[in-house]
Amino acid sequence: MDCPKRSTPAGLPYDAIVEILARLPARSVYRFKCVAKAWRDLIDDPLNRKKLPQTLEGFFIIDIFFLLRMPMYVESFVEHFGFINLLPRSVPLDIDPRFSFLRKRPEIENLLFSDSCNGLLLFDHARKSNLLDTLGYIVCNPATKQCETVSTCSCCPPSTECSKWYTRLAFDPAVSSHFHLIHFWKKGLDEEVEPLEDQVSVLSVCAYSSETGTWSQSQIDWNEQGQLEGWRHQGILSYDTSQYVFFNCVLHVILFGFDHVQIVALDVQGRTQRMITMPAAAEGRCWKYKGYIGHSQGRLHYINNEVDAHDQSCELSIWVLQDYDRQEWLLKDTELSEALWKKELHRQQVGLLSCGHSSRLQCGFLSSTPEPTNSI
């Protein structure tokens, strides 16, 4: 049986186009993917990847010891970035792990790494004299060095030492070239003032769209959406980026502050889509730590570790949400190891931002020992 002929852009011979693309810089090849679906399919074809120029494959690394332990005393968090090139063959290093192309801009005072999503990095732009005074945000593609500035959220009041705020990046190049920012803000109660009985601090959610260039605050009809949005009254979020993951156009967030840890799913407008029960809660058990979430092959994954109080062994569990609608979790893998417990996986992380094909970055997190000398 004859194999079907592969379609090519502009009707040119298949091999000729591959030969032409092989002579171009990697950045130009990546841009051709945006021309049409036929171009994208040709460049993504596994048979052509070895022939075409590859974008850098490696890791951005950041020592989160400084971010978690001493956030107010670090001059510039981007100083703790590094890049590891994993390509077996030599290629020109076109990645600037210190982001000097951003820091040399006169309007930039201090860059604080905030989040990453599908090839883009999010930085907070703050004053050197006061890191609480956020001047805005910068969304950057480190592979192309393109960046876009975003003003602070006008829907929420200025941040204070008592308030808590987190901003997360949402971007899926397969759906749209536009990105979104989802900003969580919660007013903290003054510790020196006795709170009133009916004084409740509700978490506000605002969203930014690069398509419109504006911020908007999600409006809630508590009569109709009160049950679904009730987590805003007592839910607690973490600054840890490994407890947030964006895929299928939904931001998934680990939420604690209840009897058991849950996952809240938000759309890019900041509206709650559903609450997801953790696998341990479904079985009547409770995790000691919040754990981490991610996604693989279109499914949500959750990882956590349980510690045996008697022999101090640690069982690392990896769960996959097999059925999203029915919330059916499947235990994918476990590993029982005393060595894992000795490394104290729950205490510190080292963030990895891997730079792969198509000039896109992927974000992951590895655990490490708490001593900074052993951190990557």
Let me know whether 81 and 135 are in one domain. yes
Let me know whether 37 and 66 are in one domain. no
pLDDT of residue 36: 79
pLDDT of residue 136: 87
pLDDT higher than threshold 80 for residue 171: yes
pLDDT of residue 156: 72
Residue-averaged pLDDT of the chain: 71
What's the domain count of the chain? 2
pLDDT digits (tens, 9 = 90+) for 297-315: 788 999 887 665 555 566 7
Question: Among residues 29, 53, 77, which one ends one of the domains?
Answer: 53
Let me know whether 123 and 259 are in one domain. yes
Q: Angle 159-163-167 (CA atoms, 0-180°, nearest 5)?
A: 65
Least confident of 132-136, 159-163, 207-211: 159-163
Give the strand order in the sheet containing 146-150.
110-117, 120-126, 134-141, 146-150
pLDDT of residue 92: 55
Confidence band (pLDDT; 50, 70, 90) for 1? very low
Q: What percent of the chain has pLDDT over 70?
A: 59
Let me know whether 23 and 78 are in one domain. no
Q: Where are the alpha helices (DSSP H) in the chain?
A: 14-22, 26-32, 37-44, 46-49, 64-69, 100-103, 222-229, 231-234, 279-282, 338-342
pLDDT higher than threshold 60 for residue 74: no
Let me know whether 183 and 289 are in one domain. yes
Let me know whether 31 and 121 are in one domain. no
Confidence band (pLDDT; 50, 70, 90) for 356? very low
Q: What is the CATH number of the domain that holds 91?
A: 2.120.10
Let me know whether 225 and 163 are in one domain. yes
Q: How far apart are the C-alpha atoms of 369 and 347, rounded to whole Å?
A: 8
Average pLDDT of the residues in 84-101: 69
For residue 363, the surrounding DSSP H or E stretch is strand 361-367
| Domain range enclosing 1 | 1-53
CB atoms within 10 A of CB 289: 14
Tell which residue, 243, 231, 331, has the closest CA to residue 279: 331
CB atoms within 10 A of CB 108: 18
pLDDT higher than threshold 70 for residue 65: no
67 or 28: which carries more pLDDT confidence? 28
Highest mean pLDDT among 105-109, 280-284, 355-359: 105-109
Let me know whether 244 and 288 are in one domain. yes
pLDDT of residue 295: 86
